[in-house]
Amino acid sequence: MNTVNVERFLRKHRQPAVVVASGLLFAVGWVVGYFHDLPRASAALMILAAAVGGYDVAKKAYYTLRSRTVGISTLVTLAAIGAIVIGEYWEAAAVVFLFALGNYLEARTMGKTRSALEELLEMTPDTALVRRDGETVEVPARAVEEGETVVVKPGAKVPVDGEVVDGESAIDQAPVTGESAPVHKATGDEVYAGTINQEGALEVVATGTGRDTTLERIIRRVEEAQEAQAPTETIIERFAAYYTPAIVVLAAGAYAVTGDAVMALTLLVIGCPGALVIGPPVSIVSAIGSAARSGVLMKGGEHLETAGKIDLVAFDKTGTLTRGEPTVTHVDGFGLDEVSVLRYAAIAEKKSEHHLADAILEAAREGVPGDTDADTGLAADGGTALEHPSSAADGPTIPDPDEFDVVAGKGVVARHGDRRIVVGNRALLDDRGIEVPDPVRNRVRDREEDGETAVHVALDGEVVGVVSLGDELRPAAAEVVRALQDAGVRTVMLTGDNERTARSVAERLEIDDYRAELLPEEKQAAIQSFREDGHVVAMVGDGINDAPSLATADVGIAMGAAGTDTAIETADMALMADDLERIPYAVTLSKATRWNIGENVAIAVGTVVLLLSGVFAGYVHMASGMLVHIGSVLLVILNGMRLLRY
C-alpha cells in the first residue's frame, strides 16, 4: 500500500484509527507505569493518549463554544484538561479513550437504525432494457424517458413506474407497498420502480422515471421524516442547552465548597446528557424506517408521536371499509320496466363524476336481462337481480342528456328529449316536490337495511324505479376494527350514505359509532367535534372529498398512496397499498414508539441520578463514571433499535 493509499485509508477510517491509537497508548502507558515503575514515561504516554483521543473532541468543543453552546464535548474536554493539570494522567487518558470508543460505537449502531432507508436505496435499479429504433438496448435507469417501452425480464427489478402493455407476471411489490404476497400484473396494470418481476417477461411503457418514481418519492419522504424532529426531541434539546452549562456551574460550586478537584471533574464527566439527547431520535428513526419497510410512510417524528396518542379512528366508508367498486345489484320498476328504469338513470348519470354513476352506466351498457323470468333472474322480492352477463363494449349505446345538473350530496337532474329525469336520494325528491309512494318507500327501506345504496329514478315528476347498488366490504375490515378496539381505540364510520345503509354496515363490522348522510364539510365538522371532546383523532380516507377531514384530523391517513404524488408528500401517514391491516400496525407502532422514548428518557435520567449519588457518596470516579455513561448511551440506542423489528 503506497502513501496515498494509506492516507486515503486513514481518512476513511479516521474514527476507529483514533480509538485504536489512543487505546494502545493508554495500554502501553499503564504497562510502563505498573510493571516497570517508570512514572514519567507512563505519564507522557497517558498525556499522548489523551491528546490523540481528545483532539477531535476538543476541536468540536471549540466550535460549539464559538456558537455559544456548551455541549458534551466541552464537558469532556474540561474534565480531561483538568485531570492533566492536577496530575491525574490515568484518569484523563481513560476518560478520553472511553469517550472516543463510545462515540465510535454510537456511530456504528446509529448507522444501523437507518438500515431501512439503505434497503430502499438498494432497491433502486441501475440499468434498464429499452426498445429504441427497433432494438433492445441497455441504458442507465435514469436515462429512460417517459413514454419509452421498457422490457423487464423474469427476476429483474422494474426500472421505472409504468403501465404494462404486454405480458403477464407476478410482481413482488414489498419494497413499495409492503405487500407480502406477489401481485399478478397484466396489460393495463400499473407497476412501480424497484419492484421485482418474478415470472414472465413484461413490456412496460414508462410513466415515471429517474427521480420521478414512487420509490424515489418514498426515499425522499423517509429521509425528510427521519430528519424532522419530534416534540420530545425539541424539548430535550432545549433542556440540554441549559442543563450542560448548569453541570459546569455545579462542578465549579462543588470544587469551591469541598476543594476536591477530582470530584468536580467527575461531575463534569458523569453529567454528560448523552443518553438523554440521543434516546428519542434513535426511537423515531428506527420506527419510521420500520414503518417504511412495511408500506407505511410517516411524515415525521411529530406525527409519529401524535399517532401514538390516537384514541379514536374515523373511517370513510366507500373505498376505505369497502372496496370502492360499487355494482348495480337490483333494479325495481314501478310502472316502468327495469330496462327502461336503468336506461333513464344511465342517461341522467352519463356526465356525472360520482363513483355510483360509473356503476349505473356499466350496468346499462351490459344490458339488463330481458323481461322473461328465465332471462331476468327476477329476484324473490320482485326486483331484477343483475347478473352482468356480457361486456359493456357489446351493450347498448347510452345517449348524452340534453341538459344536466348536479345537486351536491343529493343526485342529478337531467333532460333527455322532452323527458325530465331526476336520479338521487329522498332529499332530492323532496326538494323537487316529488312524492314517494309507499311501495317505493318500502322497497328502498328493504334495500338499505341490506346495506345497499338505493337511488330513486323519477320521470316527469313521478318515481318510476329504484336502482340499488352494493359495494363489497374489504375482507380485513372487521378484523381491523376489532384490532383497534382491542388496542383501546374507539372506531367511528363517517359516510354520505343514508342512515339505514350506514347502520347495516356499522353493525356488520361492529363499529362503535357511525354518522350517516354527511356532506364533506359535515365529515370535517364531525372530526372537529371529536377533537373538541378531547379525542386524538385519526381519519382514514382515500377520496378527494375526504381531504378536508384528513387535514382536520390530528393524523390524516391516506390509503393506496403508491403512484400518487400528493398522498405520499402531503398525508401525515400514507399506506402505500389499499391494505387496511396496516392501520392497526401503524397505530400500535406509534404507541410502542412513545413508550420506547419514555423508556430511553427514564434510562438516561436514572443513570445520571445514580451516578450523581455515587459521586457524592465517593463510589464513582472519572473513568468508572465515563464507562457507565457510555453504557447508558449504548443501552438507549439498542433499546430504540428494537423498533426496527416491530
Give me the pLDDT at residue 356, please.
82
Give me the pLDDT at residue 370, please.
40
* Dmax (CA) of the chain: 115
CATH superfamily of 324-369+398-472: Calcium-transporting ATPase, cytoplasmic domain N (3.40.1110.10)
Cβ atoms 177, 577 nearer than 8 A = yes
Give me the pLDDT at residue 562, please.
62
Which grid coordinates are listed for 365?
Answer: 351498457
The amino acid that residue 621 corresponds to is H
Give me the pLDDT at residue 569, please.
63
Cβ atoms 471, 322 nearer than 8 A = yes
CATH 3.40.190.10 for domain 296-321+474-578: no
Burial of residue 604 (CB within 10 Å: 0-12, 13-18, 19+) is buried
Q: Rounded to whole angstroms, what are the CA distances from 53 to 16, 63, 643? A: 10, 17, 33
Q: Rounded to whole angstroms, what are the CA distances from 316 to 65, 320, 495, 541, 547? A: 53, 6, 6, 5, 11
Cβ atoms 620, 266 nearer than 8 A = yes
Phi, psi for residue 229 in degrees, rounded to 5: -80, 145
Which grid coordinates are listed for 594?
Answer: 412513545
Number of Cβ within 10 Å of residue 460's Cβ equals 11
**Domain locations in the chain?**
3-118+226-284+595-645, 127-212, 296-321+474-578, 324-369+398-472
Q: Which CATH architecture has domain 127-212?
A: Distorted Sandwich (2.70)
Cβ atoms 301, 230 nearer than 8 A = yes
Instruction: Specify whether 133 is catalytic.
Output: no
Residue of 322, 579, 576, 577 lying closest to 474 (CA atoms): 322
Q: If you ran DSSP here, which 8-state letter would residue 299 be given?
A: -
- Taken as a whole, the chain contains a residue count of 646
DSSP string over 42-105: HHHHHHHHHHHHHHHHHHHHHHHHHTT---HHHHHHHHHHHHHHTT-HHHHHHHHHHHHHHHHH
DSSP H or E stretch at residue 616:
helix 582-617
Given 161, 172, 316, 572, the catalytic residue: 316
Give me the pLDDT at residue 380, please.
37
DSSP string over 206-272: EEE-TTSSHHHHHHHHHHHHHHSPPHHHHHHHHHHHHHHHHHHHHHHHHHHHH--HHHHHHHHHHT-
Q: Which residues have CB under 8 Å from 124's CB, separation 6+?
A: 141, 193, 194, 215, 216, 219
Question: CA-based Rg of the chain, rounded to a whole angstrom?
Answer: 34
**How far is residue 448's CA from residue 499's CA, in Å, rounded to a whole number?**
8
| Mean pLDDT in consecutive groups of 10 residues from the start of the chain, 646 residues | 69 86 92 84 92 90 84 85 88 86 78 68 82 88 90 90 91 75 86 87 90 82 73 78 86 89 86 80 87 84 88 89 86 90 91 83 71 36 44 66 85 91 90 91 88 90 92 89 93 88 90 88 90 94 73 86 61 81 91 93 91 86 83 89 87
Scored b (16 or more CB within 10 A) or e, 90-112 reads bbbbbbbbbbbbbbbebeebbee
pTM above 0.85, yes or no: no
